């Protein structure tokens, strides 16, 4: 009985340690570091869709080398809907954003002719 208890305790300890280790070592390139959250990033892209009700715009942007991000399509959030109200799908834009935790917050958007 003591041997069974000892084996179960050891197994549980090792498995929980492995889970903690895996969680601590698992990284995503698209997650910003602490230094990346404080910088303004400028890039350009093409508007895919605009959601005024939720102050969101989906943009296919160029690679962002300062963040090690490849070109991709992602959603950006505007604090003020006025920043995105004139955007429409297929607009070519130049924009500035800032990472605030998990959100990519738009700071400036210019339509490029």
Per-residue model confidence as pLDDT tens for the chain (113 residues): 665 555 555 555 554 444 444 444 444 455 555 444 468 999 999 999 999 999 999 999 999 998 899 999 999 999 999 999 999 999 999 999 999 999 999 999 999 98
| All residues at 6 or more sequence positions from 89 whose CB lies less than 8 Å from its CB, including other chains | 47, 48, 49, 50
Distance CA 3, CA 71 (A): 56
Nearest to 93 by CA among 57, 52, 39, 66: 57
Give the pLDDT of residue 39: 86
Give the pairing type, strands 72-78 and 40-51. unpaired
CA distance 65 to 71: 10
Secondary structure (3-state) at 35: coil
Pick the CATH number of 40-111 from 3.40.50.740, 2.40.50.320, 3.40.50.720, 3.30.70.20: 2.40.50.320
What is the Cα–Cα distance from 24 to 40, expressed in whole angstroms? 27
């Amino acid at each position: 009985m003591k041997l069974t208890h000892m084996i179960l305790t050891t197994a549980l300890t090792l498995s929980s340690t492995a889970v903690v280790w895996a969680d601590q070592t698992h990284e995503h390139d698209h997650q910003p570091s602490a230094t990346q959250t404080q910088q303004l990033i400028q890039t350009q892209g093409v508007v895919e869709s605009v959601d005024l009700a939720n102050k969101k715009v989906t943009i296919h942007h160029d690679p962002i080398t300062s963040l090690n991000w490849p070109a991709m399509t992602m959603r950006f959030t505007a604090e003020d809907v006025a920043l995105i109200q004139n955007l429409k799908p297929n607009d070519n834009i130049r924009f500035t954003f800032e990472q605030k935790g998990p959100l990519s917050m738009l700071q400036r958007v210019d339509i490029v002719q």
